[in-house]
Structure formats: structure tokens, C-alpha cells
């Protein structure tokens, strides 16, 4: 069965880390719009410069730009057997565009990571990333860690949009534009919510269980029709 998976949740909910872990286990690509945009910023393309100015203000890049990037990525060969989307969709407009993109490619499983706002602010204000590849450091890692980034060894720094004021603005943008996604998907049999405030291992276990329950329900429903 093709597994098309969306992870939802506010900035700092841990969905990116869990999405990568899950995708590796299933052998399907983890597709992050954040990674795509950061690559554009790093290479200094026109869209990268536009995106950087917006992201540094804690705002979201326009729907048309993001939809185009994702459509192109999902057309690549490695995504044909399924994917894990992190950071897309962020608005109902994007969600409707995604429904069109995957029409005929199998159903979407949607998992929402729920974390209290105070915990999100704490996590984001102390979060570090690699200045070379943009990978998030594990929780509790200090910027002075001599090992640096686990992926490439680069120096760990704070993101420009992770200071407390910008963090609160990012969460406000999320509440205003992205939370309606939960309402958009909630009525689907493939929608699940998990507690993202637990330990990473506990979240990972709940994540796998939620996906398997949703996918198992689809398989049972499909079998009942034949």
C-alpha cells in the first residue's frame, strides 16, 4: 500500500525530527518545504532571497510559491511509492492543492502533533541548527558542543527566527493560518492526533501506532468493498 503521510503541528512540535525518523524506517522520502526553502536561500536564488526576508520576519512564504515547489518534488520518482510531508500544507488553500496533486495516488494519512504553547516557546527559543546544512540539533545540545552537527559536523547556531519575539509571531501566524487545517482534515478516517509533549521515544511510538491505525482502517475498509 502506498503511504502518503502529512505531519501537522506548530513550530517546535517535533514533527520534523519524527517525520525523518519514520521516513527512514519506511524507506520513503521525507519532504520538508523548510529544507527546500533553506537550500534556495543558501544558493542565493531569487526565490531564496524573497523567502529569506519573509522567514526572518517569522512569516510564511506565499501559497503559490510553496505549492509549485511541492508539486515539482512529488513528481520525482522516489515519491511515487509514498512520502512524508513536513511543513506542507500550512493553509487550507495548500491542502486543497495537495488533494488535487495526490488524486489517484492513494489516500492521505494525517497526524497532528499537539504541544502546549508554553512548551513550544521554550523549545524554539533554545533551539539550535547547523549553519551549514540547516539540520536541527537534538534537544539539550549546547552550541559549544565540540562535535557540532551530527550530520555534517558544522557549527551549531540559533536560527534568526528563533528569538522569543519572532517565535511568538510565528506561533500567532500558525494559529491564524494553519490551525484550520485540523478542522479541514479532522473528519477524515485517516486523521489522528498525538501528544507531542512527551519524550521523543514515546512520541515516536505513538506516531507509528497512529499511522498504522489509520492505514489499517483504510485496508479494512478497502477489503469490505471487495
CB atoms within 10 A of CB 120: 23
pLDDT at position 186: 92
Quick one: how far is CA 96 from the chain centroid?
Answer: 17
Question: What is the domain extent for residue 35?
Answer: 3-116+165-224
155 is known as an active-site residue: no
- Domain assignment present for 77: yes
Q: Tell me the pLDDT of the chain (226 aa) as tens digits.
A: 789 999 999 888 999 889 999 999 999 999 988 787 777 778 777 767 877 887 788 787 788 878 887 888 888 899 999 999 998 998 899 999 999 999 998 889 999 999 998 898 888 877 788 888 877 777 656 555 767 888 888 888 877 666 777 888 888 888 888 889 999 999 999 999 999 999 999 999 999 999 999 987 654 444 333 3
Specify the pLDDT at position 220. 43
Q: Is 21 a catalytic residue?
A: no
Domain count, the chain: 1
In a domain, 148, yes or no: no
CATH of the domain at 85: 3.40.50.300
Catalytic residue chosen out of the listed positions 15, 30, 123, 192 = 15
Structural domain includes residue 123? no
Q: What is the 3-state secondary structure (H, E, C) of the chain?
A: CCEEEEEEECCCCCHHHHHHHHHHHHCCCEEEHHHHHHHHHHHCCHHHHHHHHHHHCCCCCCHHHHHHHHHHHHCCHHHCCEEEEECCCCCHHHHHHHHHHCCCCCCEEEEEEECCHHHHHHHHHCCCEECCCCCECCCCCCCCCCCCCCCCCCCEECCHHHCHHHHHHHHHHHHHHHCHHHHHHHCCCCEEEEECCCCHHHHHHHHHHHHHHHHHHHHHHHHHCC
Q: Which of 30, 52, 127, 192 is catalytic?
A: 127
User: Nearest to residue 137, comparing CAs of 16, 11, 29, 24?
Assistant: 16
Q: Catalytic: 49?
A: no
Q: What are phi and psi of 90, to 5 degrees?
A: -115, -10
Strands 156-157 and 30-32: unpaired
Kindly name the residue from 30, 52, 73, 90 that is annotated as catalytic.
90
Q: Which of 161, 165, 192, 211 is nearest to 22 (CA)?
A: 211
The pLDDT value given to residue 40: 72
Using one digit for the tens of pLDDT, what is the confidence trace for 57-110? 878 778 887 888 788 888 889 999 999 999 899 889 999 999 999 999 888 999
Place of cell 523549545: 123
Phi–psi pair at 61, nearest 5 degrees: -70, 150
Whether residue 121 is contained in a domain is answered as: no
Tell me, yes or no, whether 141 lies in a domain.
Answer: no
24 catalytic, yes or no?
A: no
Give the angle 136-142-147 at the CA atoms, nearest 5°. Answer: 75
133 inside domain: no
**pTM given for the model:** 0.76
170 among known catalytic residues: yes
Amino acid at each position: 500500500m502506498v503511504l502518503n503521510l502529512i505531519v501537522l503541528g506548530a513550530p517546535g512540535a517535533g514533527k520534523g525530527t519524527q517525520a525523518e525518523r519514520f521516513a527512514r524506517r519506511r524507506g520513503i522520502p521525507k519532504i520538508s518545504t523548510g529544507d527546500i526553502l533553506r537550500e534556495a536561500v543558501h544558493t542565493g536564488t531569487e526565490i531564496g532571497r524573497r523567502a529569506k526576508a519573509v522567514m526572518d520576519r517569522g512569516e510564511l512564504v506565499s501559497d503559490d510559491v510553496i505549492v509549485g515547489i511541492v508539486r515539482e518534488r512529488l513528481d520525482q520518482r522516489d515519491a511515487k511509492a509514498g512520502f512524508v510531508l513536513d511543513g506542507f500544507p500550512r493553509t487550507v488553500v495548500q491542502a486543497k492543492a495537495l488533494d488535487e496533486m495526490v488524486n489517484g495516488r492513494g489516500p492521505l494519512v494525517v497526524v497532528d502533533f499537539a504541544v502546549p504553547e508554553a512548551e513550544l516557546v521554550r523549545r524554539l527559543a533554545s533551539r539550535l541548527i547547523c549553519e551549514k546544512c540547516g539540520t536541527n540539533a537534538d534537544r539539550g545540545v549546547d552550541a559549544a558542543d565540540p562535535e557540532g552537527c551530527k550530520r555534517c559536523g558544522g557549527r551549531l547556531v540559533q536560527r534568526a527566527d528563533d528569538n522569543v519575539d519572532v517565535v511568538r509571531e510565528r506561533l500567532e501566524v500558525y494559529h491564524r493560518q494553519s490551525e484550520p487545517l485540523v478542522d479541514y482534515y479532522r473528519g477524515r478516517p485517516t486523521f489522528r492526533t498525538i501528544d507531542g509533549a512527551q519524550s521523543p521515544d514515546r512520541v515516536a511510538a505513538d506516531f507509528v501506532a497512529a499511522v498504522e491505525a489509520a492505514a489499517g482502517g483504510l485496508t479494512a475498509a478497502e477489503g469490505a468493498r471487495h
